[in-house]
């Protein structure tokens, strides 16, 4: 990836409250998708795009990042790319988080990517659009898929409004959580204060400065914001409706729906799609349908589990449907 983007900043400090209880013991960016940490899909795409450095912020349960980076909190590597970490004792939000890692950024624009989304966006197209725009920031947008809160003039490539705050554009586009930030924007972000990108962008627009956008409707994009969306991405991967490029750490044949070490009693019944993690157990006479069993989980004998996530080390008993244990 050329055009001066050398650093990627991956936002991994959020609480993930909407996805509880899946995030009770691990941060949302580490919640497994067919066994692989959610944020790893972003890391893999950024590494493949050619960034020279990846910076990750953490906040809640930071030691859990050892699952992906045994060296944490010390610098590490992912797919050969150096990775640096910055812990936030106090959550600083998106723009505040970027300002907090300013000293870790290589010169030039920064590619910012939410760590809790699944995205197969054309990053090269985003970076190229930013290089052409001369803007303070260029947002990756979509015309559907979630809350449409961004006013955008397709002809000029300029963002005109966000959340209707300026009354100057019909909010017909979704912000994907991916953008390119020019170094000049960092001077608009206060140090050590929690602040999101939205007021920073709005301030720039009010001052007559350019915030650009590019519509990237091709490729996968999912906000895994609740239990239903978490189950849906597994269902869509099973059916082929969703396609994700496997990260370099993925086992051969990923997504494999029954991992090595998963044990199922001979008279247990599995129906629909199910993802069975390594070391999980399905007991005698149990019935499991369209569920995700994390590593080391157990469905006890004669339990009935449907549309449910059984977390690592947890036990499912009785009848459970549309839930998480």
pLDDT, position 1 = 53
pLDDT digits (tens, 9 = 90+) for 163-217: 999 988 779 999 999 999 999 999 999 999 999 999 999 999 999 999 999 999 9
**Exposed/middle/buried for residue 109 (C-beta within 10 Å: 0-12, 13-18, 19+):** buried
Q: Which CATH superfamily is domain 257-325 in?
A: Hexapeptide repeat proteins (2.160.10.10)
Contacts of 253 (CB under 8 A, 6+ apart): none
Residue spans of the domains in the chain: they are: 7-223, 257-325
The matching CATH number, chosen from 3.40.50.300, 3.40.1180.10, 3.90.550.10, 3.20.20.70, for 7-223 is 3.90.550.10
Average pLDDT value for residue range 86-101: 97
Report the DSSP beta bridge partners of residue 135. Answer: none
Task: Kindly report the pTM of this predicted structure.
Answer: 0.94
Report the DSSP beta bridge partners of residue 83. Answer: 54, 76
pLDDT digits (tens, 9 = 90+) for 122-155: 999 999 999 999 999 999 999 998 889 999 999 9
SS3 269: strand
> Same CATH fold, 257-325 and 7-223?
no
CA within 13 Å, CB half, 199: 11
pLDDT digits (tens, 9 = 90+) for 303-316: 999 999 999 999 99
């Amino acid at each position: 990836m050329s055009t001066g983007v050398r650093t990627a900043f991956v936002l991994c400090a959020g609480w993930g409250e909407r996805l509880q209880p899946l995030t009770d013991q691990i941060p949302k960016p580490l919640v497994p998708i067919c066994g692989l940490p959610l944020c790893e899909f972003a890391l893999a795409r950024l590494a493949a795009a050619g960034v020279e450095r990846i910076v990750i912020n953490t906040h809640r349960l930071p030691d859990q990042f050892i699952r992906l980076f045994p060296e944490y909190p010390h610098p590490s590597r992912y797919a050969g790319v150096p990775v640096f970490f910055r812990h936030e004792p106090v959550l600083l939000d998106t723009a505040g988080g970027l300002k907090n890692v300013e000293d870790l950024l290589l010169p030039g624009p920064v590619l910012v990517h939410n760590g809790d989304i699944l995205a197969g966006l054309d990053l090269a197209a985003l970076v190229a659009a930013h290089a052409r725009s001369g803007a303070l920031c260029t947002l990756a947008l979509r015309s559907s898929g979630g809350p449409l809160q961004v006013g955008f003039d397709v002809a000029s490539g300029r963002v005109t409004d966000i959340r209707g705050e300026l009354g100057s554009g019909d909010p017909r586009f979704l912000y994907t959580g991916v953008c390119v930030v020019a170094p000049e924007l960092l001077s608009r972000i206060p140090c050590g204060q929690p602040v999101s990108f939205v007021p920073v962008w709005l301030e720039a627009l009010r001052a007559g400065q350019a915030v650009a956008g590019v519509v990237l409707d091709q490729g996968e994009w999912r906000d895994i914001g609740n239990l239903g969306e978490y189950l849906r991405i597994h269902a869509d991967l099973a059916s082929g409706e969703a396609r994700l490029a496997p990260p370099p750490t993925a086992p051969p044949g990923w997504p494999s729906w029954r991992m090595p070490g998963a044990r199922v009693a001979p008279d247990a019944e599995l129906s629909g799609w199910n993802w069975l993690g390594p070391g999980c157990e399905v007991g005698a006479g149990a019935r499991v349908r369209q569920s995700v069993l994390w590593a080391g989980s157990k469905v006890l004998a004669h339990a009935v589990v449907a549309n449910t996530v059984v977390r690592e080390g947890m036990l499912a008993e009785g009848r459970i449907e549309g839930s998480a244990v």
